Each structure stands twice: as structure tokens, then as C-alpha cells.
Amino acid sequence: MTIYSLYIYDRHCDCVYYQDWHRTSPIRPPPFTNFRPGVHRIPSPPSITTKESIFNTKRLSALEDVERVGNRELKGLPFDEESKLVYGVILSLRNMVKKLSGRDEAFTSYRTAQYKLHLYETLTGYRFVLLSDPNVDSLRFVLKQIYTGPFLDYVVRNPLVIMDSREEGIDNDLFRSAVDRHMRNLSMFS
């Protein structure tokens, strides 16, 4: 019984927040071209700290070395691709459930042998996605609690957070620690 990760998407289908707890599969930070500030706190790859002289002929090869080592050490999907895959899966399953029901029926969760994904949609188009252990009951109430609690207090009522910005996420220290506290107080978190 445990909680793995939390994704929040806005109505533009962009991931605006990410946090993980007991996740063991590796994840890579996104490439710099796709980096959006204020979404996640995945440590960035080791960069070249000492600036070498431009007259050093070995400079280029050293750079390549660092890149190769960096690529070998960092496994897993880059964050931007992973968040898009998660969104794609919930979108297609949502459409499928809707199509098969013939009416506006909400898709709530899916399960694999390793994890269970819970989805909670707000009326404003925010989608809260939680990955947990497969044996737990529905955790949509937790997502609703996060929405009505920390999300409203530290994101919606926070004048420093730009909602709907499309440039950056909603991450801030208060929100992150409040979500963390909320999750750690759950009985299924261990």
C-alpha cells in the first residue's frame, strides 16, 4: 500500500505540477528546449561546471564525454514525454468510456499488475492524476481533498501563481509541502 506519484494537468492539457514519493523507476529531466519552470523538481543532469579555455583542443571531446556519461547514467523517459503519455492514456480511456456509455460518463481509474491510476476532473478543467499501489480502493476522495484544500489555498488564492499561463507551472513551496503532508497522513502511505 503506497502512493507513487501525482500529476496535475490544466485545461490546456499541459502538466503544471508533478510530485513523486515511492517511485523507483528512473525518470530523466526534460531537455532544455522543453523545460517548463514550476512543474517538477527533478534534479537536472550533471553539467560541465568548469569552463575550459577555448584554446583547449580537447574541449570538444570532453564535452562529448560528459554527454555520453550523462546519457548512460540517466535512464527512463524524459519527464515531458512521460507526462504526455500519461495524459494520452487518460484521454483515450476517457473517450472510450464515454463512447461505450453513449453519454457523459466519467472515467475514474485503471489498474495494472504494478500500479493503479486514479483520475479526478474539476469543473474548471484541471485533471488530478494519482498513481498508487494496485490494491487500494478508489483514491478520488484524496484528489478531491487536495483540490479543495492545498490547491485552493496555495495556488488559486496565491497572487504570485499565474494560473493558465502556459509558460510555467503552479509549483510553490507551500503547496508542495502541504501536498506532501496530506499524502504522508494517509493510512495507505507507508
Partner 1 sequence: MTIHAVWVINKAGGLVFSRTYSDTLPTQTLNATLILAGTLHGIHAITSRLNPITGKGGLESFEGENWGGKIWMSLTGIKLVVLHSIAHQGLDELMKKIYEIYSDAVMKNPFQTLEMPINSSLFESRLLGLIQSVN
- The window from 16-24, 51-59, 154-162, 175-183 that contacts partner 1 (CB under 8 A) reads 16-24
Q: How far apart are CA 50 and CA 53, in angstroms?
A: 10
Residue type for position 127 = R
Q: How far apart are CA 56 and CA 119, in angstroms?
A: 54
Residue closer to partner 1, measured from CB, 37 or 102 = 102
Binding mask 138-177 for partner 1 (x = CB under 8 A): ----------------------------------------
Q: How far apart are CA 96 and CA 87, in angstroms?
A: 14
- Interface positions, 77-136, toward partner 1 (CB under 8 A): 77, 82, 85-86, 88-89, 92-93, 96-97, 99-102, 105-115, 117, 131, 134
Among 142, 179, 128, 144, CA closest to 10: 128
CB distance 129 to 116 below 8 Å: no
With H, G, I as helix, E, B as strand and everything else as coil, classify residue 24. coil
20 binds partner 1 (CB under 8 A): yes
- The window from 15-23, 40-48, 146-154, 167-175 that contacts partner 1 (CB under 8 A) reads 15-23
Residue closer to partner 1, measured from CB, 45 or 115 = 115
User: Torsion angle, CA of 53/54/56/59, rounded to 10 degrees?
Assistant: 100
Give the residues lining the site for partner 1 (CB under 8 A).
4-5, 20, 22-25, 77, 82, 85-86, 88-89, 92-93, 96-97, 99-102, 105-115, 117, 131, 134
